Structure 1
Amino acid sequence: MPDSTSPAIQPKNPLHGLTLEQIVTALADHYGWDELGQRIEIRCFTHDPSIKSSLKFLRRTPWAREKVESLYLFMLRDKARKGV
């Protein structure tokens, strides 16, 4: 039985162990801010974007965070499909 103080093991969850900062950084590196702002139309990606401003907004806006996480998962699947 797992210890109640240890985090749950999630071997099939690609987001497990990643911080929001790592996800946003990977998306910005892969797509660039312009394309990221086109794919997810939120102000923190379209107007003077930065990791810091994006994290501040995404941490307090669950619907936007869900969109970012979904795009990250799509990016992972797309990279796997292309063999990158």
Structure 2
Amino acid sequence: MAEQQPNNPLHGVTLKAILEHLVEVYGWEELGDRIRINSFNTDPSIKSSLTFLRKTPWAREKVEKLYLKSLNKK
């Protein structure tokens, strides 16, 4: 049984949903400027970015922080 995590704003949000939100808010170019990752700057796609982010914890952490920051702006 899954535990409830009321204080975790990322609970239940998929990495794909996070990435799609960031692309919608910032676009690939600005996203690549904010987080220096080749998959954001060179022929960007959701698929290649997800593959990289799932294998690279430091990059995923930066993406999650930017996502939370973008939610706080609203």
TM-score, reference length from structure 1:
0.85
Aligned-partner Cα distance in 2 for 1:26–1:7 = 25
Find the counterpart in structure 1 of residue 16 from structure 2.
21
RMSD: 0.6
Which fold has the larger relative contact order, with Cα–Cα distance below 8 Å and residues 6 or more apart in sequence?
Answer: 2
Runs of at least 5 residues in structure 2 that lack an aligned partner in the other structure:
none
Give secondary structure in 2 for the equivalent of 1:8: coil
Aligned-partner Cα distance in 1 for 2:71–2:45 = 22
Larger Rg: 1
In the comparison of the two structures, how many residue pairs are matched?
Answer: 74
- Return structure 1 stretches of 4+ with deviation > 3 angstroms: none
Aligned-partner Cα distance in 1 for 2:63–2:2 = 23
Find the counterpart in structure 1 of residue 27 from structure 2.
32
Aligned-partner Cα distance in 1 for 2:4–2:63 = 23
Equivalent residue letter for 2:64: E
Aligned-partner Cα distance in 1 for 2:13–2:39 = 21
1:48 CA displacement: 0.5
1:38 CA displacement: 0.4
